[in-house]
Amino acid sequence: MIYYKTDEEIELIRKSSLLVGKTLAEVARHIKPGVTTLELDKIAETFIRDHKAVPGFKGYGGFPGTLCVSVNDVVVHGIPGKQVLKDGDLVSVDCGAILNGFYGDSAYSFAVGQVNEEVKLLMERTKQSLYLGIDSAKAGKRIGDIGFGIQTYVESFGYSVVRDLVGHGLGRNLHEKPEVPNYGKRGVGTMLQPGLVICIEPMINLGRKQIKQDKDGWTIRTSDGMPSAHFEHAIAINEGKTDILSSFEEIEKVLESIK
Ligand code: MG
Ligand code: MG
């Protein structure tokens, strides 16, 4: 079943999601060649706990990290570890936090040093596809409209949409109903109604859509070894304009300042 949220609950999810945005901004300050993915994870965990919240991913289904740190051909669910980031890497960082009993969840893809033009465009267009998905997420529309908006845009560049992993409802649980695919048909699926809080999170591959999982049981990679980007916002459907609960503002301030 779908849990529709009250205005008060939506405000709590906003607080959790904004904390995630601030955490990703803190991580962004430290993304550079030479840093390990585990170092980034520690920075995020400390930041979340300093803000009287709890890492949302740590221990979730047995996941060991505060962050999912996914480099280059890793789509999502990369486990923080000894991997050293190097110039030209694309690193997708996904973060969750629990504050006042509600989850926040958001993700951003970063360039380490200078990435090549192809990767830069993949990142920009994946982010743009997220906002197109959000534009399609209005009361009275359906889940399929969101995926249609994302898929149509990214496929026009020859990219592909990962099928096996999708967005989700968000609230007292990290993953609630409904599923929110990043592909789909107009006018199909669950009707979007006020009080619905969902995460839209396009995972877009430069090459083919197929993915595979490492033996660690988590790491998801593209089967063709080509890079993949990932951006995620939590949003609330209401009567008027759709409300983006998470924010990239703090992240992008940091990125501007270190340019
Ligand atoms: Mg996420
Ligand atoms: Mg999510």
The CA 86 to ligand 1 mean position distance, Å, reads: 23
Per-residue model confidence (pLDDT) at position 241: 87
Residues with CB under 5 A from ligand 1 (ion): 94, 105, 107, 232
Q: Is residue 175 part of a domain?
A: yes
Q: Is residue 2 part of a domain?
A: no
Residue 248 in tokens: 């990239």
Q: Is residue 14 part of a domain?
A: yes
Which CATH number fits the domain that encloses residue 70?
3.90.230.10
Closest ligand to residue 198's CA: 2
Query: How many domains, in total, are found in the chain?
Result: 1
Q: Is residue 238 part of a domain?
A: yes
pLDDT 10s digits, 103-129: 999 999 999 999 999 999 999 999 999
Which residues span the domain enclosing 101? 7-257
The CA 165 to ligand 1 mean position distance, Å, reads: 11
DSSP, collapsed to helix, strand or coil, labels residue 32 as coil
Per-residue model confidence (pLDDT) at position 29: 98
What residues form DSSP beta bridges with 41? none
- Cβ neighbours for 145, distance < 8 A, ≥ 6 positions apart: 136, 137, 184, 186, 187, 192
Contact 63, 218 (CB under 8 A): yes
The CA 110 to ligand 2 mean position distance, Å, reads: 17
Per-residue model confidence (pLDDT) at position 62: 97
Q: Is residue 250 part of a domain?
A: yes
Q: How far is CA 183 from the centre of its chain?
A: 16
Closest ligand to residue 92's CA: 1
Q: Is residue 1 part of a domain?
A: no
List helix spans (H) across the chain: 7-30, 37-50, 117-136, 143-155, 249-257
Closest ligand to residue 20's CA: 1
Per-residue model confidence (pLDDT) at position 202: 98
Give pLDDT tens digits along the chain (259 positions): 999 999 999 999 999 999 999 999 999 999 999 999 999 999 999 999 999 999 999 999 999 999 999 999 999 999 999 999 999 999 999 999 999 999 999 999 999 999 999 999 999 999 999 999 999 999 999 999 999 999 999 999 999 999 999 999 999 999 999 999 999 999 999 999 999 999 999 999 999 999 999 999 999 999 999 999 999 999 999 998 899 999 999 999 999 998 8
Q: Is residue 155 part of a domain?
A: yes
Residue owning tokens 């048909």: 185
Kindly write down the DSSP assignment for every residue of 181-192, as one continuous string: -SS--TT-SSBP
Q: What are phi and psi of 186, to 5 degrees?
A: -60, 140
